Amino acid sequence: MVDSNRFGAAGAALGYIAQIEYALLIALERMDREEDLRLSLETADDITFEVGGRVELWQTKHHIARQGSLGDRSPDLWKTLHNWIESSDGESACFLFSTVTASADSAAGLLRPMRTKADVDAARAKLDVAAQPGGNKASAEYYAKYLSLDSEQRLNLLERVTVLDGAVTAEHITDRLVASVRKATVRSRRGPLVERLRGWWHGRALNHLSRIASGESEWIKIEEIEAQLLFIAQSLRDDNLPLDYSDEPEPTPGEVKEDDRVFVEQLKVIMLHHERIRQAVYDHNRAFLQRSKWQREHLIAIGELEAYDRRLREEWNRVFLPLEEPSSVEEPSDSAKCISARQLYARIQERSLPEIRPNVNSGYIPLGSMHILADRLRIGWHPDWVELLKHRLSEVQGSKESRGAA
């Protein structure tokens, strides 16, 4: 049997996530016309906006499948009005942002944008009736607080209230976010832009809420959101690509010790220091993840990775191809070959390897891509790498059929 309380908890959690995303969406949609906008979360209200010295209090009400009510005795409506009576300064604009749609003749429906003074008067009359004794007992406290205001105070309150009903639900907010960034990049890259902006925003909101919870006063300025939007958009230009794995956790020594991939064996063959191998694994893993993500998001052209790998193999040729023809003198010992291989490997590490596009500045993409090539046995570090790794050849050839990315 499924615990119904878990559904309620999940719905509440979804509401909190939606609140954070609503803040981003509203900020993006107002960015072009309000350059001095700033916002805070969970301070004076769910979301507080300030622009030009004017404060706006926003209550967000998210309901799964748009269930709920915005009728004249709606708990959402009355709890929100109660909060504003208790905490508002009597001047701030108040917004009820709800996924539920109010009927046109309800008090909430009369308080939508573009309403007239007559609409506000009618809404007050409806709420006056709804608040009379005998209504919803659960909202009795809210009714009493409302009725404690005189007629002029009630009118003043409702003149400051705007109901934004029928708001987008959490499951469809991505489409609205994508639409809000349409000027920032071309259509095909808006989804990747929103994904990265969202990731940054959730981290920024978490940091903001942590500071608020610690008693600090902090605002998130619209220029900070705009700067991040432009930074991501620039990484999605034709001469650039976004980098998502720079801060990926490093592999542990234990993980590297157990790693039996071909490129790791290539490094062990030349007796490279274990910390150097760990760095190589780190570069390889990040490059593989990033290249795969670029492909999934269609951010790179067909054949672009293959062309890039050919450029890297040319760089390998310049360092690792022999400088002279074989001679009849005694062949170097394996120890000498390993020493020479490590020296050449160090040269590759120090070389200015090409990035995949002119404005990409990763460091780990070219080095990691070299190890991807080594993993496919297209390059090697030991002079005899073909002979030494031939036992892995069937494994590499078999993986070509199943390899989907990078």
Q: Are residues 174 and 271 in the same domain?
A: no
As a whole number, mean pLDDT of residues 261-277 equals 97
Q: Are residues 378 and 284 in the same domain?
A: yes
Q: What is the model's pLDDT at position 394? A: 86
Strands (E), 6-118: 38-41, 47-51, 54-61, 93-98
Q: Are residues 26 and 165 in the same domain?
A: yes
Q: Are residues 271 and 161 in the same domain?
A: no
Residue 194 lies in a domain: no
Residue 206 lies in a domain: no
Q: State what percent of residues in the chain have pLDDT above 90.
A: 86
Q: Are residues 265 and 116 in the same domain?
A: no
As a whole number, mean pLDDT of residues 250-257 equals 96
How far are the Cα atoms of 82, 111, 214, 257 from residue 55, in angstroms, in the given order?
18, 19, 23, 58
Residue 46 lies in a domain: yes
Distance, CA of 372 to CA of 369 (rounded, Å): 5
Q: Are residues 160 and 258 in the same domain?
A: no
Residue 42 lies in a domain: yes
What is the DSSP annotation of 282-307?
HHHHHHHHHHHHHHHTT-S-TTHHHH
Residue 248 lies in a domain: no
Q: Are residues 257 and 376 in the same domain?
A: yes
Q: How confident is the model at residue 5 (pLDDT cuts 50, 70, 90)?
A: low
What is the DSSP annotation of 260-279?
--HHHHHHHHTT--HHHHHH
As a whole number, mean pLDDT of residues 350-368 equals 96
Q: Are 23 and 41 contacting, i.e. CB atoms less than 8 angstroms apart?
A: yes
Q: Are residues 161 and 258 in the same domain?
A: no
Q: What is the model's pLDDT at position 206? A: 97
Distance, CA of 89 to CA of 123 (rounded, Å): 21
Domain boundary among 181, 214, 240: 181
Residue 201 lies in a domain: no
Residue 3 clears pLDDT 70, i.e. is over it:
no
Q: What is the model's pLDDT at position 234? A: 96
Intra-chain end-to-end CA distance of the chain, in Å: 44
Q: Are residues 285 and 154 in the same domain?
A: no
Residue 43 clears pLDDT 50, i.e. is over it:
yes
Q: Are residues 161 and 295 in the same domain?
A: no
Residue 198 lies in a domain: no
Q: How confident is the model at residue 87 (pLDDT cuts 50, 70, 90)?
A: confident
335 burial class (0-12, 13-18, 19+ CB within 10 angstroms)?
Answer: exposed
Residue 218 lies in a domain: no
Domain boundary among 128, 161, 181: 181
Average pLDDT, the chain: 93
Q: What is the model's pLDDT at position 1? A: 45
Q: Are residues 38 and 176 in the same domain?
A: yes
Q: What is the model's pLDDT at position 326? A: 66
Say how many domains are in the chain. 2
Domain CATH for 156: 3.40.1350
Residue 345 clears pLDDT 60, i.e. is over it:
yes
Q: Are residues 171 and 269 in the same domain?
A: no
Which residue carries 């790179």 as its tokens?
Answer: 300
Q: Which domain holds residue 377?
A: 253-323+331-402
Domain boundary among 151, 181, 211: 181
